[in-house]
Amino acid sequence: MIDLIQHYMKEFWWITMLSAAIVVAFIISIPVVVLRLPVDYILSLEQQPGRGQKKRSFSRICTSIFRNFLGIILVLIGIVLLVLPGEGILTIIIGLLLIDFPGKVKFKRWIVQQPIVVRAINWVRAKAGRPSLQAPLSQQPTNIAE
């Protein structure tokens, strides 16, 4: 058993370093992305009909291929991180948000409209002195005293 552990020690350290790098990348990048969201992001998702067929240039096709490849890699890494230390579910969600698939806009709407996600986003924005995201009327808190 000890021989087996010693044999795979190098791979264990590589996986540990990859996991730590992903956690650090998320800690740095998620607040940056949240702070760059426009105030009406949730409302614009409500009105977004989905992707239409746009004329695609070579650079858009290359960007789309790279984004989809990166998304698939993140989903696969996220699946591995479900059993290893790291942010597996978050990695899977971010990977899915990078991939183009039917129903992606609906998936984004569902994620962003979860009350806990809106509260977390607005908390990060408040810490940075940015205004809160505008939520649809169905999500805005109601004042019972009035």
pLDDT tens per residue, range 86-104? 677 888 888 888 888 888 8
Structural domain boundaries of the chain? 2-27+39-48+58-127
Give the per-residue pLDDT at 143: 42
Residues in Cβ contact with 106 at an 8 Å cutoff, skipping those fewer than 6 apart: none
Q: Give the span between the Cα atoms of 137 and 96, in whole angstroms.
A: 28
Angle at 87 between CA 85 and CA 92, to 5 degrees: 125
Helix axes 115-127, 104-112, angle to 10 degrees: 70
pLDDT tens per residue across span 29-69: 888 888 887 887 777 765 555 455 566 788 888 888 999 99
pTM, full prediction: 0.59
Q: Give the span between the Cα atoms of 111 and 124, in whole angstroms.
A: 17
The tokens of 130 are what? 């940015």
Q: Give the span between the Cα atoms of 26 and 30, in whole angstroms.
A: 6
In the block, residue with structure tokens 């190098």: 10
CB count in 10 Å sphere of residue 67:
14
Q: What is the dihedral of CA 84, 89, 95, 98, to 10 degrees?
A: -160
